[in-house]
Amino acid sequence: MHPLLTALEGTLIVSCQAYPGEPMRDPRTMAKVAAAVASGGASAVRAQGLGDIRAVAAAVDVPVIGIWKDGAEGVFITPTLEHCRAVIAAGADILALDGTRRPRPDGLSFAQTVAALREDGFTGPIMADCDSVPAALAAAEAGADIIGTTLAGYTGERARTDGPDLALLGELAGRLPDSAVLVAEGRVHTPAQAAAAREAGAFAVVVGTAITHPTTITGWFREAVAGT
């Protein structure tokens, strides 16, 4: 296990993201959100976009998981080797990228991308955002330090569950090699779901929308009030 990951076991990681056009879509704002969740006990934060990564890294003392979303279809989470290099250069302690078996825009496989980053000299943990058991096992074999269930239910490989994909977590918990840790991410909307993900075998749990996305949370409560 990478030394940076030891302190993350049994902890909460918070994803701090806002979408284009939203009022909070500003690196300075996201840095303040990240600082707030860190003060609340988040063991690490996940930031999207080079500007946000730089601002967040300067604002918190916990590890920063960096991604760069480019596009809206297919592989768009840190989709190419050059995106990966830019995320690392921006200050990410942990690099996260699409870990599915889908073709990447630059024609490189996930394994080739990881190998190139190691040849570059990057020694930090690499997180694979996966969508299925085969993708997760392949990513671990390729050298991913963290296997995330981030894309389960979003690529057609598995049905989308209402909450986190507990079945996927349970299967992966018993099959991943010791070199990779399993992180639950995706549709963790309540403390009970976070606890269930941990019980299913997750090393750590990532929560995003339910903590850091007021637009969506407001919608949840508005619909509840309107339905009474």
47 burial class (0-12, 13-18, 19+ CB within 10 angstroms)? buried
Tell me the C-alpha distance between 104 and 57, whole Å: 27
| Chunked mean pLDDT (size 10), the chain, 228 residues | 96 96 97 98 98 98 98 97 99 99 98 98 98 98 98 98 98 96 98 98 98 97 93
Residue 3 tokens, joined: 């030394």
Number of alpha carbons in the 13 Å side-chain half-sphere of residue 106: 16
Residues 6+ apart with CB under 8 A from 12: 41, 42, 43, 194, 204, 205, 206, 207
Residue 227 tokens, joined: 């339905």
pTM of the full predicted structure?
Answer: 0.98
Q: What is the pLDDT of residue 138?
A: 98
Q: What is the pLDDT of residue 228?
A: 73
Q: What is the pLDDT of residue 133?
A: 98
Q: What is the pLDDT of residue 70?
A: 98
Q: What is the pLDDT of residue 90?
A: 98
